[in-house]
A and B are shown apart, each in its own frame.
Chain A
Amino acid sequence: MSPSILDVEGLSVAFDRPGHGKQVVTNVSFKVDRGEALGIVGESGSGKTLTMLSLLRLLPRGFVARALRSSFDGRDLFSLSPAALLEIRGREIAVVFQDPLTALNPVLTIGRQITEVLRRHFRSSAAEAERRAVELLANVGIPDPTLRLRQYPHEFSGGMRQRVTIAMALAGEPRLLIADEPTTALDVTVQAEIVSLIQRLQREKGLTVIWVTHDLALLARIADRVLVMYAGRVVEDAPVGKLFAAPRHPYARTLLGSIRQDGPRRNRPKLLGSLAAADAGAVGCPFAPRCAEASDQCRSVAPALKVFGGDTRAACWALDDAGARGADS
């Protein structure tokens, strides 16, 4: 058995409409090991969510995805039949989205929405499904689950709603949970509770988790490895400790610099301009327009990901073969 549960190579997503074609995710490759927590970080528009949606084949209309390999536990997600895909979605791979209010159906009770998953995937009887739904709600820390099962989404607070969507995601007993900014809309105190909850489930059930977020500090708490995305590309992929101790890509360095709490803010590395300006040109490194160290080479040819020390990848021309920065070392 391969150690990776998910193995993606050469994934590209394009918005494809006559006259308006645009590449939004370019040549993304990554692996997720069983039981691992992978963090994917990037700004809005960096392609993190589209990458996840494309693997589930849930891309919005107009988007087309291609990949050299998109293997989930030995099966190729992109060549599965629709019927086989339905058996994986919600069963083996589950997703929790950012906004629990739009992820839940407002006119159905919570119980109906959770039992639907159980009846669909396990062919459970109504009574069995309800018993299991109570268990699931209790497991995610919702008090009084039997009563709550008969309530509608609007009767829950934001944090409780997100617990409900997590309970729904876990109903299929998935092996991979994709959490796409699940705590962004919540207060810090509630965020801390949801994070503790998912971490507990990871320990208890050996769940593999992909955390998609723009909050790098949060990944310090939850991720084993971090994939940094910029303008639809992976620019760095490193174990969390290495990334925070010695980020290699200039984008990762400025991102980390902007959240460090020590020292006066005036002296911190700054990121000028915006991502929108960065992805306009197709040639060269996408980060070059905002990079303080960009050379002519950076502006004309995009750097490929290079492997350093066996477990770190980064895409930057300024890195020599040992992974040291040529410019400032």
Chain B
Amino acid sequence: MTTEALLSARGITVTYHRRSVLPLRERERPVQALRSVDLDIRSGETLALVGESGSGKSTLARVLVRTICPSSGTVAFRGSDITNIGGRPLRSLRRHFQMVFQDPFSSLNPRLSVGSAIAEPLIVHGLAKGAALRQRVGECLAMVGLDSSVAARRPHEFSGGQRQRICIARAIACQPDFIVADEALSALDTSLQGQIIDLFQDLKERFALTYLFISHDLSVVRQISDRVAVMYLGQVVELAPTQELYASPKHPYTRALLAAVPVPDPAAERARAYTPLRGEPPSPANPPPGCAFHTRCPKAIDRCRSEPPGLREAAPKRLVACHLPD
């Protein structure tokens, strides 16, 4: 695809083998969390991953930052293969990748002061010590809009929004290239979400960061991302620039997802005839043959039931996995 890819994933498949708890029970089928996913993340962009729970968003992110190894496929960082590295090379690579999680209450150690939490990655990677370390911690707090004097306090003294700022300060401490925000805004109130989105944007401009933004909230994604990848049952079904995706979704699943988001306009809401998507996503242990979405798709034809559609270019810069794209 493009040459400026910061991270590029090819044919990523992740299979989880569930161990049966009961010895006499039939062995459960392995769960395919990801099925042959290709994805490039370009330097400096904000790519959003959207999809229902269980679609493989978090698994894909974790493969990209190499906290889990794919069952097959390759991951490359700046052109060099990182699929199977380990030990010291992997650890030094980790400095470039950071994550911010959904729940700022469980992702901070309650016993550690805020300052120590932010200092930890700097110490692990040997980037600063002594006075320089304290100064860097203060800088990081200032960058997320907190006073450097709060370093001595513990997480319980802060509100949800402030804790998420602390998590972001910890993520940027090592000057990473790439940050995964895994539902980082979902636990926050609407007004706080706005503040944290602004913070993410500011940091991106200041430090030329690249973001992978995982969210199930399509209105948040619209505000923050350059491109959106829509996932369904372990596969990317549509990849498009944000504006174009929202203006004209090409995959019927994307269309259904967007239609499910309430519009903040009572008259428009009442006027529109909305038919919810029927049924539930099929089990990843037993994906349907052909297109995985055909069981819920309003326009499925016989071909969809037998032949899986590949991710193809349907228009310039737009990839869609559908036999009958809109």
Measuring CB to CB, which residues of chain B are less than 8 angstroms from any residue of chain A?
Answer: 52-53, 159-162, 189-195, 197-198, 216-219, 222-223, 256-257, 259-270, 274, 276-277, 280
Contacts and interface: CB of A to CB of B under 8 A. Distances in A.
Interface in A271-322: 271-272, 274-276
Could you tell me the dominant secondary structure of chain B's interface residues?
A: helix
Contacts of B269: 220-221
A217 interface: yes
18 contacts: A43-B191, A158-B53, A188-B218, A189-B52, A189-B276, A191-B260, A192-B277, A220-B265, A220-B266, A255-B190, A259-B190, A259-B264, A261-B222, A268-B194, A270-B194, A270-B198, A271-B194, A274-B161
A115 B67 CA distance: 46
B260 A214 contact: no
A240 interface: yes
A159 B280 contact: yes
Contacts of A259: 190, 219, 264
Contacts of B257: 188-189
Given A192-B260, A256-B264, A261-B264, A187 B216 contact: yes
Given A160-B280, A255-B190, A187 B53 contact: yes
B280 A157 contact: yes
Interface of A: 43-44, 157-160, 187-193, 196, 214-218, 220-221, 240-241, 244, 254-256, 258-261, 265, 268, 270-272, 274-276
Interface centre among A196, A260, A274 (most CB of B within 10 A): A274
B216 A217 contact: no
A220 B264 contact: yes
A241 B194 contact: no
A215 B261 CA distance: 11
Contacts of A191: 260
A189 B256 contact: yes
A189 B189 CA distance: 21
Given A187-B52, A241-B266, A271-B191, 9 more contacts: A43-B189, A187-B216, A191-B260, A192-B274, A215-B262, A220-B264, A261-B263, A268-B194, A276-B159
Contact of A192 (B160, B191, B216, B276): B276
A274 B159 contact: yes
A276 B160 CA distance: 10
B190 A215 contact: yes
Given A157-B280, A188-B218, A189-B52, A218 B194 contact: no
Nearest to B217: A188
Given A43-B190, A270-B194, A271-B191, A188 B264 contact: no
A189 B54 CA distance: 13
B8 to A, nearest CB: 29
Given A196-B274, A217-B263, A241-B266, A265 B190 contact: no
Contact of B190 (A193, A196, A214, A261): A214
Q: Give the 4 A-B residue pairs with the shortest CB-CB distance, closest first.
A: A271-B191, A192-B260, A43-B189, A217-B264
A321 to B, nearest CB: 26
Contact of B266 (A215, A244, A271): A244
B262 A218 contact: yes
B3 to A, nearest CB: 30
Contacts of A217: 219, 261-264
Contacts of A256: 264
Nearest to B216: A187
A265 B52 contact: no
Contacts of B261: 188, 217
B256 A44 contact: no
Contacts of A157: 280
A173 to B, nearest CB: 25
Nearest to A196: B276
B223 A265 contact: yes
B190 A216 contact: yes
B266 A240 contact: yes
Contacts of A274: 159, 161-162, 192
Contact of A272 (B195, B219, B222): B195
Nearest to A194: B276
A244 B265 contact: yes
Contact of A258 (B161, B194, B222): B194
Contact of B262 (A158, A220, A271): A220
B272 to A, nearest CB: 9
Contact of A44 (B189, B222, B263, B266): B189
Nearest to A276: B159
A159 B281 CA distance: 11
A258 B262 CA distance: 14
Contacts of B53: 158, 187
B201 to A, nearest CB: 8
Nearest to A257: B194
Contact of A188 (B194, B216, B268): B216
A244 B159 contact: no
A69 B94 CA distance: 60
Contacts of B280: 157, 159-160, 190
A158 B280 CA distance: 10
B276 A193 contact: yes
Contacts of B52: 187, 189-190
Contacts of B193: 258
A109 B258 CA distance: 35
A279 to B, nearest CB: 12
A244 B264 contact: yes
Contacts of B162: 274
A44 B195 contact: no
